[in-house]
Structure 1
């Protein structure tokens, strides 16, 4: 069994446009903060600090979504491993024996708990670490797969991942006996 899940390019395009608009808006916070003063408690310095935070956050977001646009597939699932390319900061290839538990969280996400050795073997740049932390506060123990940019529903994705993981557990357990 080999399942490939592709991206929805129109959602990625929309994400690029929105992150670019928010980035431009953050730059205006820095350049023209007096436009955004609405009451006595707002100070130019506070608005500029918000602008700097926005520039950092939305630059990283824009860069990460732009990188997704050129990838061919988001997820590849087979009997031996799962390749997660659904986000810029994704870990890529994860073997089934490294996966401890799979859970649904919220309405559009799946959390996959993995061995800590998976994170130790990966070299992540600063942007990837920042985005992993911003998207998952438990980022050293689990990964989160969202169907926001995927070309399939969350139920279908969850079923495919859990069935393949259970089949792998059965075949490895039976081969050990």
Structure 2
């Protein structure tokens, strides 16, 4: 069995535009914080802190969307392994023997519980994005169908079917 899922380039481009606009808004928090001040809740200092945090997060997600543009497929399933490229911080090649459990997680995600350390060889940006998207990052990874050309149910059935066939080997 061999199956590839590609990216929906329109959604990736929308993500790029969205995070560029968000980055510009957060930059304006730093440049001109006084226009965002509300008498009861916000001070200039808190707006600047929100701007700094927002710039760090939105620029890292923007970078991850730029990287996705160069990838040819988001998920590739073969008899020996699964290649997850659905996000910048994805692990890439995952052998079926390294997976202990597959289950649905919320609306657009599939959770794979792995038998090995996930963050072992990741750089700081990938660790940060993994932590921001998956609070249970030490034990599992999330595969998202949000940017792929299939729905979550089709992706789940394909991955779990391939896992069941290859788990017996």
TM-score w.r.t. length of structure 2: 0.97
Distance in 2 between the 1:117 and 1:79 partners?
A: 23
Superposition map of 1:1-177 within 5 A:
1-117=1-117, 119-120=119-120, 123-170=121-168, 172=169
Deviations 1:23-57 (A, max 9, x none): 00000001100010122432100000000000000
Work out whether residues 111 and 144 of structure 1, in 8 Å CA contact, stay in contact via their aligned partners in 2.
yes
Does the residue aligned with 1:116 lie in a helix, a strand or coil?
coil
How high is the TM-score relative to the length of structure 1?
A: 0.93
Q: What is the CA distance between 1:119 and its match in structure 2?
A: 4.2
Cα pair 2:117 2:138 within 8 Å, conserved: no
Q: Which has the larger radius of gyration?
A: 1
Q: Is the 8 A contact 2:26 2:54 kept in 1?
A: yes
Structure 1: runs of 5+ lacking an equivalent: 173-177
Q: Deviations over 1:64-106 (max 9, x none)?
A: 0111011000000011100000000000000000000001011
1:152 and 1:53 map into 2 onto residues whose CA distance is 33
Comparing 126-135 and 36-45, the one that deviates more: 36-45
Pairwise CA RMSD: 1.0
Unaligned runs of 5+ in 2: none
The alignment covers a number of residue pairs equal to 169
Decide whether the 8 Å contact of 1:30 with 1:52 is kept in 2.
yes
Structure that is richer in helix per residue: 1
